């Protein structure tokens, strides 16, 4: 079954909730963080929250889609964009470019629902990555399937750029390690 169809099917069967409630809840979380700490720490905090979500989200993903292990990083990228995003957010970001060595891809998140109704204050524009929770979610989820990646936003419409782009780069495959202290 093509990936996009799988993503759509899983989404159709899921219970739904109004997108605006979701988006406004996220906005409230970011607003609270911005009140508590400076913008660069907010980025780190959002990524941490995203990682916590990602490690649990991957289980639901695997349970609902019964996907097999991806053969290579390209397949991983397609799975994330066509199935992962679609089944949770009903939205498929486009993979816009690959690096030459095939280890980094860029997701275009122009229609990102989280950025709806949002305008960043001027002092935040150079620093805050509003949707940074996505970088954490992808990182956390892939870590649970033994892939270590680095994720970061490179552009954001809310900051005045022309597109919203998230870059994901492959670092290494995590081997099963004996936990420290066990022998």
Query: Using CB under 8 A as the criterion, which residues of the chain lie in contact with other proteins when the complex forms?
Result: 11, 14-29, 31-32, 49, 52-53, 56-57, 60, 87-90, 113, 116-119, 121-122, 157-162
CB of 157 to other proteins, least distance (A): 6
CB of 23 to other proteins, least distance (A): 7
Largest CA-CA distance found in the chain, in angstroms, rounded: 54
Tokens representing residue 30 in the block: 């970011």
Cβ proximity to other proteins: between 40 and 119 the closer is 119
Of the candidates 108, 107, 81, the one whose C-alpha atom is nearest the C-alpha of residue 92 is 81
State how far the Cα of 85 lies from the Cα of 8, in Å rounded to an integer. Answer: 10
CB of 169 to other proteins, least distance (A): 24
Cβ proximity to other proteins: between 89 and 95 the closer is 89
Cβ proximity to other proteins: between 25 and 97 the closer is 25
State how far the Cα of 64 lies from the Cα of 62, in Å rounded to an integer. Answer: 6
CB of 154 to other proteins, least distance (A): 15
State how far the Cα of 82 lies from the Cα of 92, in Å rounded to an integer. Answer: 6
């Amino acid at each position: 079954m093509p990936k996009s169809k799988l993503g759509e099917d899983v989404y159709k069967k899921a219970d739904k909730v109004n997108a605006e409630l979701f988006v406004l809840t996220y906005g409230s979380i970011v607003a609270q963080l911005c009140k508590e700490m400076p913008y660069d720490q907010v980025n780190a905090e959002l990524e941490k929250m995203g990682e916590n979500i990602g490690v649990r989200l991957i289980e639901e993903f695997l349970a609902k889609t019964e996907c097999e292990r991806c053969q290579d990083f390209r397949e991983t990228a397609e799975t994330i964009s066509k199935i992962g995003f679609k089944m949770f957010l009903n939205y498929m970001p486009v993979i816009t470019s690959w690096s030459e060595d095939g280890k980094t891809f860029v997701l275009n998140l122009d229609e990102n629902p989280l950025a709806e109704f949002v305008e960043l204050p001027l002092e935040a524009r150079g620093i805050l990555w509003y949707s940074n929770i996505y970088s954490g979610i992808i990182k956390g989820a892939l870590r649970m399937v033994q892939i270590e990646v680095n994720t970061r936003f490179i552009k954001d419409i809310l900051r005045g750029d022309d597109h919203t782009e998230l870059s994901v780069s492959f670092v290494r495959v995590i081997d099963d390690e004996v936990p420290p202290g066990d022998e």
